Amino acid sequence: MSSSAPTLTVRVACKAVEATDICSFELVAAEDSAPLPAFSAGSHVDVHLPGGLTRQYSLCNDPHETHRYLIAVLRDPASRGGSQAMHAEVQEGQLLQISAPKNHFGLAHDARRSLLLAGGIGVTPILCMAERLAMVGADFAMHYSSRTRARTAFVERIAASPFAPQVHFHFDDGDAAQKLDLAGLLKDPQAGAHLYVCGPKGYMDAVLTTARASGWPESQLHYEFFAAEVAKSETDASFEVQLASSGRVITVTKDQTVTQALSAAGVEVQTACEQGVCGTCLTRVLSGVPDHKDVYLTPEEQAANDQFTPCCSRAKTARLVLDL
């Protein structure tokens, strides 16, 4: 299966423990002191890991910096190998292949106020946004929720930053008074206010459900899932995909993804996350109805049924005709 091509070689200048099960990696150009391509708040890079895996990690340093990229990785016992490889196999001094920064989670330039919500390791793009908003003197507040203080990365960095008073911490094991009151925070959406959220799926679902129920327009909601469980269902069945260019029909078995079936038939679709998160594999659907399992497309985009993510999504009809 193919993935996005690496375009940069970087060296791990520093690997540091930021919190329980969270390590940061400072990446610099392989050639000392060469500047790295610029990035904007909310960007991520694809990191090509030992063993052939590719994972996306958000950049969490000040987007002004060109001498380094800083990423942070949570060791996830349920991971399919990406976070384990970063923690166990990637060491200081090592060279890594990465993509240039890409941004699917940018700041809205016309925002009058920004509300930044981070859950756990989802702090990485959110912290980068806070750096940027603070630098330009924008009006914002950040709420950072995590299970315990010990599992909260970048507490000292935030405390030492000029925007420390704008950041509110919420610990699951803390007292009731400091818990995040989502309904209270999100009530009365204001014109020009934009909400950004990143974190585990349950946290993001809670934030987005509450925001939508409180009347936030979709255009003022910005989110990036950094990991997602691709829901397998009992009803997952075999179906066919047809390539519009050649008319060829390929069967996707019950246990295969569309990209796996295509790859086995010699048809490569570029992938990265393989979890319906990044949109790299997005493919146009010319007929048939996809069974969307991604978290990349908006509900409106999914409902249009004219594109899908073949790394995880399936079909509700016996055949999908794909623009391939």
Helix (H) or strand (E) holding 306: none
Q: Which is nearer to ligand FES, 48 or 151 (CB)?
A: 48
Closest distance of CB 252 from ligand FES, Å: 15
Q: Which is nearer to ligand FES, 58 or 309 (CB)?
A: 309
Closest distance of CB 280 from ligand FES, Å: 4
Do residues 154 and 234 lie in contact, with contact meaning Cβ atoms separated by under 8 Å?
no
The whole-angstrom separation of Cα 172 and Cα 92 is 33
Closest distance of CB 278 from ligand FES, Å: 4
Do residues 236 and 257 lie in contact, with contact meaning Cβ atoms separated by under 8 Å?
no
Q: Which is nearer to ligand FES, 154 or 226 (CB)?
A: 226
Q: Name, in order, each residue with C-beta under 8 angstroms of 53's C-beta and a sequence gap of 6 or more.
A: 80, 81, 82, 85
Size (the chain), residues: 324
Summarize as ranges the residues that interact with ligand FES (CB under 6 A). 271-274, 276-281, 294, 296, 309, 311
In sequence order, the β-bridge partners of residue 146 are 171
Q: Which is nearer to ligand FES, 52 or 192 (CB)?
A: 52
Do residues 283 and 273 lie in contact, with contact meaning Cβ atoms separated by under 8 Å?
no
Do residues 261 and 251 lie in contact, with contact meaning Cβ atoms separated by under 8 Å?
yes
Q: Which is nearer to ligand FES, 122 or 276 (CB)?
A: 276
Q: Name, in order, each residue with C-beta under 8 angstroms of 109's C-beta and a sequence gap of 6 or more.
A: none
Closest distance of CB 81 from ligand FES, Å: 16
Q: Which is nearer to ligand FES, 15 or 104 (CB)?
A: 104
Closest distance of CB 262 from ligand FES, Å: 12
Q: Give the angle subtended at the CA of 294 by the CAs of 214 and 190, to the nearest 5°.
A: 20
Q: Would you put residue 79 in left (φ > 0), alpha (ψ -120 to 50) or beta?
A: beta
The whole-angstrom separation of Cα 51 and Cα 82 is 9
Closest distance of CB 71 from ligand FES, Å: 18
Q: Which is nearer to ligand FES, 73 or 228 (CB)?
A: 228
Q: Residue 240, exposed/middle/buried by CB under 10 A (0-12, 13-18, 19+)? A: middle
Closest distance of CB 199 from ligand FES, Å: 18
